[in-house]
Structure 1
Amino acid sequence: MLFIVLVTLNAPLSMFYTEALGMKLLRQRDVPEEKYANAFVGFGDEHSHFAVELTYNYGVTSYDVGDGFGHFAIATQDVYKLVEHIRAKGGNITREAGPVQGGTTVIAFVKDPDGYTFALVQRPIVHDPFCQISLRVGDLERAIKFYEKALGLKVVRKVDNPENKYTIAILGYKEEDDATVLELTYNYGVTEYSKGTAYAQIAIGTDDVYKSADVVNLVTQELGGEITLQPGPIPGLNTKVTSFLDPDGWKTALVDNEDFLKELE
């Protein structure tokens, strides 16, 4: 799984991901004919770890994050220590380290220079620090059905919090302690959110983008959403992809596994 966000091109942003969060710059590419450049960052090799693709569109100096994007989450064995490290690197701490309300799990929140929120989550064992992406949805049950049917994700945990008027569902291909997961958040009574112009899409590998697109197309007819890019090679790279919007307007790209491995060569 790959999380793609749109960013401005500046040194503080790069330093936040590499020096403050401890990610590695995995690779870069420039596609001048399409007027964009990418930097891929993560905590390990893309064959076995999830990554963030930072996309810079030529000449664009700002983006609106909107209010629908929740956060990325980073797992660590010591949230207090990581918060102090981020603070020392000039990071913006928006919630100090401490137990979650009503629980014992230690968390904190920080923001990158472009306004994306990162949750820091303390865990005794960390397989891949990049552990979660959180999106807000207007109809939780519809969203769950969509991702189950379109992508084969499974609900691994669901929590209702009537006191704070929200419900979350964690979806993944494995248990949340073992893999990066998608968190869908429903805030009571809120049916629409601004997507802004910043967050781009989640990218997931598939062995056949054409067959996957057929499945997604059937699901969109039942539950809403739409195919936004018919399956085929993308200009400048020749990697086969297809992309679609879920019923809430969040975008997902499906990427041919074999083509993706060629990109890594």
Structure 2
Amino acid sequence: MTANKMLHAVYRVGHLGATGKFLEALGMKLLRERDVPSEKYTNAFYGYGPEQKGEHFSLELTYNYGVESYDIGTGFGNFGVAVEDAHTTVERVRQAGFKVTREVGPVKDPTGYKFEIIQRQQRDPLCQIMLRVTDLDKSIAFYEAMGMQVLRKRDNPDYKYTLAFMGFGPEADNTVLELTYNYGENTYSAGNGYAQIAVSTPNVYEAAEQMKKVGIQLTREPGPVPGIGTKICAVRDPDGWKTVLVDAEDFEKEFEE
């Protein structure tokens, strides 16, 4: 599954308008929006460039009518944003009225999700998602089965944690997962805010069979999404973090509507 690409991350927010202003303070733009009154929710996609063909990673915000807060849990870490000047970016977020949790470091959106501000050059500034895991080797094996590679690994015995950065290509050109293992931690709460990542794949049915062959159980068998027609399947890693595999051709058709 080497042709797979990261598409977007899905998470629930309590204030769609305020969250949009926060992301705009980070330099993102509203890429598309869809309101589904019959199901009482709205989706808004934000990012730094076009989503087509996985060119840019995006954030899919889900606002459920009337729900103003979520439990983010202890397992989700942060979204990483690469910028040329961290001080300028953090100050822009502060001036927009949002919380800076450390100088110069993470900033928080209105729902409480952390965004790590990283000073470095990056083609797509939405550069990483940090998730905490309880068994790093098992997590690495899971994402390798999906076609990702370990791009780099860092152990920090002094602070008792190990990081593994995984992705479908070089870190400078791809959004990656930052898996964090804290020594001795064997449980985290997932909360009900962060939902999943979406990954495009050339053939959902073949991808599903490959996952099954290595012992990974599907949480959703491959097939079209009712009302949309896009073919997907879904899996969860050893800690329960969800990945939805999306048919690449079907995903492109969503932009033709």
The question of whether the paired residues in 2 share the 8 Å contact of 1:33 and 1:236 is answered with no
Instruction: Say if 1:220 and 1:35 are closer, same or farther in 2 by CA, change over 3 A.
Output: farther
Counterpart of 2:244 (choices 228, 232, 253) is 253
Counterpart of 2:11 (choices 2, 5, 15) is 5
Matching of residue 94 in structure 1 with residue 89 in structure 2:
no
Deviation at 1:207, TM superposition (A): 1.0
Q: Any idea what the Cα deviations from partners look like across 1:92-130, whole Å, max 9, x if unmatched? A: 100111xxxxxxxxxx1111000110000001x221110
Query: Structure 2, unaligned stretches of length 5 or more?
Result: 1-5
**Alignment correspondent of 2:75:** 68
Matching of residue 205 in structure 1 with residue 200 in structure 2:
yes
**Alignment correspondent of 1:114:** 111
The question of whether the paired residues in 1 share the 8 Å contact of 2:205 and 2:222 is answered with yes
SS of residue matched to 2:89:
helix
Further displaced range: 73-82 or 230-239? 230-239
**Map of 1:136-151 to 2, 5 A cutoff?**
136-149=132-145, 151=146
Counterpart of 2:124 (choices 117, 124, 128) is 128
Deviation at 1:35, TM superposition (A): 3.4
**Equivalent-residue separation in structure 2 for 1:220 and 1:37 (angstroms):** 36
The TM-score normalised by the length of structure 1 is 0.90
Counting aligned pairs with the same residue, the percent is: 54
Higher relative contact order (CA 8 A, sep 6+): 2
The CA RMSD over aligned residues, in Å, is 1.3
**Alignment correspondent of 2:174:** 179
Q: What is the number of residues matched between the two proteins?
A: 248
Counterpart of 2:20 (choices 14, 19, 23) is 14
**Alignment correspondent of 2:225:** 234
SS of residue matched to 2:14:
coil
Instruction: Say if 1:23 and 1:162 are closer, same or farther in 2 by CA, change over 3 A.
Output: same
Instruction: Say if 1:213 and 1:58 are closer, same or farther in 2 by CA, change over 3 A.
Output: farther
**Alignment correspondent of 1:101:** none
**Equivalent-residue separation in structure 1 for 2:248 and 2:189 (angstroms):** 32
Q: Any idea what the Cα deviations from partners look like across 1:127-160, whole Å, max 9, x if unmatched? A: 11100000000000110011101x1100010000
**Equivalent-residue separation in structure 2 for 1:260 and 1:95 (angstroms):** 38
The question of whether the paired residues in 2 share the 8 Å contact of 1:31 and 1:236 is answered with no
The TM-score normalised by the length of structure 2 is 0.93
Deviation at 1:229, TM superposition (A): 1.3
